[in-house]
Amino acid sequence: MRNQTVIRTLIREMLNENTQNQYSDMGIVTIPGSYSTDPNLTVVYSISKMNVALTGANFGAQGQIFVSGVEWGKSPYTRHGPCNNGFVIMSSVTKATEKGWGKKAYLAAIATAQKSGKSLGPDRDHVSPSAAAAWEEMSKNLDAHPYDDLSDPKTPPPEDDCKLDPERPVLNASYTLKSIPSDISTMMQQGEGHFGQLTGEQRGRAMDILRKQFTVAWETSERTY
């Protein structure tokens, strides 16, 4: 019995170490839109690969730095309604080889929106089946702020009125975090620390690289969650 307990303890320690190693090179940053109407981009990326692209003889050798990203902001369409006066997802993409990282980008985006006192909800025009499934899974650990039907409001305050999805209830709310998951918090701190060490020129270059790789991944439909 004692040997079994020791073995289980060693296995847990190995799993924890592997998890820590998995995240040790990963950063999460949010790049603000150039203008108030432009979306923000919350992105998960490889810190070491970014450093290779920014320094020395390998300057400009971008490699596959980008892992996952989410564009979000205030909906530009008044036809959607106030939607809790929150933000909405506008687009998201995760490299097809990096399954599981999409949800981390979503959670980091929610955490960032929450810092400004806002909730974050799904796109009001189009949500793919895989994205809807991601919201369904994540919602179990989020605080939901339900929308009221914009076309037939049931409550007096107009702030929660929003265009609803008639078939997928999980999409009819904006969300905040109950608490920031430790892995998300760690990667956000690592990303913030990494960008804080870069020169102004390097930060600009890094943001350009991340936006470009997000766009390329989106255009080539390398999407998973």
Q: pLDDT tens digits, the chain, 225 residues: what are they?
A: 454 554 444 334 333 444 456 788 999 999 998 766 689 999 999 999 999 999 855 544 556 899 999 999 988 778 889 999 999 999 999 876 667 899 999 999 999 999 999 999 999 888 888 889 999 999 999 999 999 999 999 999 899 999 999 999 999 999 999 999 999 999 999 999 999 999 999 999 999 999 999 998 888 865 555
The C-alpha atoms of residue 126 and residue 25 are separated, in whole angstroms, by 33
Sequence-distant (≥ 6) Cβ neighbours of residue 128 within 8 angstroms: 223
Q: What angle do CA 106, 110, 112 make, to 5 degrees?
A: 115
Predicted confidence at residue 100, as pLDDT, reads: 81
What confidence score (pLDDT) does residue 114 get? 95
pTM for this entry = 0.85
